[in-house]
Amino acid sequence: MPTPVEIPGLDVAKAKRYSRTRLVVLLGGTAWSVARMAWFASGGRSARVRRATGGAVPDRLAGPAYLAATALLSWLTSLPLAYFGGHRVERRFGLTKQSDRGWLADQLKGAGLGLLLQTPLLAGAFAVIRRRPRDWWAILSGATVPLAVLISNLAPTLIMPLFNRFEPITDPALVDRIRALAERAGVPIADVFRMDMSRQTEKPNAFFAGLGNSKRIVLSDTLLDRFEPAEVDSVVAHELGHQVYGDIWRMIALSGGLGVGAAYLTHRLAPPLVRRTARRTGVASIGDEASLPLLGLVSVLIGFVAAPIQAAFSRAIERRTDRFALELTGNGEAQARTDERLAVESLADPDPAAPVVFFLYSHPPIAERIAAARAFDTKQAAATA
């Protein structure tokens, strides 16, 4: 499969250390959250918090109060790992210049937002579970699809500006090139934006936001400032490919399908688990908000099955989108250099272990993408010779 590719400028040992560190943090974080949920569920702790929060507010708000309190506790207890395993690691590897204070401000904003969005949604979900004990899984998984559509549309205009600045790109040459590419791909775009992503990360990025006529493409400052024009074109061409094939809808459809499966499995697995542990947890049914840590444990289990499916689907989409971009620009060398630069700027592991790719990689390994881009040029040259 992936032929060994030499990536100029990439410190392979450092990239390896970085991906190993991230893996350890991920596994440690999962173990930590499983341990936390098990501890919180057992000994009647969750049930006690549920009673205490219930005693402090009117009956109607007892559920939401418990959910908000546990969200806060869970955020606080995961903060140290997020700091040392996330922010400090990125700093040490030179992948962010964000200060501790800036990082914490982002964390606080994110937590506040999460609390505001999550609490009413979860409270509503528990109300559905109580009222429809047989088919709640179908109702809830059905409701998450329009919700996902809504959030993915509102996020770029309502949520992302809380964290970053967006400004229209004024360089007319760049805008003209992007518009010409978009026109050739048959994708209407309203605006081209620059985003100060360097506030959080040195890793370059680009994405589409909005729907229909308000569609805009957003390019990170890290991309615009460090990549050659032909390389920016390659990145834009790739994003156009996602638009042409409606990949956001495909991903939403897949998540919807997986969501139905996950909800049904929870419906089958969680009630017996709750019943069997009732004496130790003090929780009698999954309609009780205090069953949240037990539901969390079940969802971690389901996540192990869902993650590789989602990753494989995404890799297939990315592979096809790379091919589309090559056809659109006709410039395999520019795409290969873009990928090389991306690898250097984000310290990509040049040959990740197969199980890591299987479980975690939403994109094909970078060496494979580079090889595919160069192979495209070779094939083109052979065809015209």
Two tokens, residue 283: 């929780």
| Cβ atoms of residues 132 and 235 within 8 Å | no
Could you tell me the smallest distance in angstroms from the CB atom of residue 321 to Zn ion? Answer: 5
CB of 50 or CB of 242, closer to Zn ion: 242
Rounded Cα distance, 270 and 264, in Å: 10
Could you tell me the smallest distance in angstroms from the CB atom of residue 242 to Zn ion? Answer: 6
For CA atoms 121, 127, 133, 138, the dihedral sign is: negative
Two tokens, residue 255: 């998540």
Residue type, 27: L
Instruction: Give the binding-site size for Zn ion (rule: CB under 5 A).
Output: 1
- Of residues 302 through 321, those in contact with Zn ion by CB under 5 A are 318
Rounded Cα distance, 73 and 109, in Å: 16
CB of 47 or CB of 251, closer to Zn ion: 251
Could you tell me the smallest distance in angstroms from the CB atom of residue 261 to Zn ion? Answer: 25
CB of 267 or CB of 363, closer to Zn ion: 363
Give the x/- contact pattern for Zn ion in 13-52, rule: CB under 5 A: ----------------------------------------
DSSP calls for 253-321 = HHHHHHHHHHHHHHHHHHHHHHHHHHHHH----TTSGGGHHHHHHHHHHHHHHHHHHHHHHHHHHHHHH
Could you tell me the smallest distance in angstroms from the CB atom of residue 179 to Zn ion? Answer: 20
CB of 318 or CB of 340, closer to Zn ion: 318
CB of 119 or CB of 234, closer to Zn ion: 234
Could you tell me the smallest distance in angstroms from the CB atom of residue 199 to Zn ion? Answer: 22
Two tokens, residue 245: 């094939």
CB of 129 or CB of 209, closer to Zn ion: 209
**Residue 163 backbone zone (phi > 0: left; psi -120 to 50: alpha; other: beta):** alpha
- Of residues 318 through 377, those in contact with Zn ion by CB under 5 A are 318
Could you tell me the smallest distance in angstroms from the CB atom of residue 206 to Zn ion? Answer: 9
Under the rule (CB under 5 A), what is the footprint of Zn ion? 318
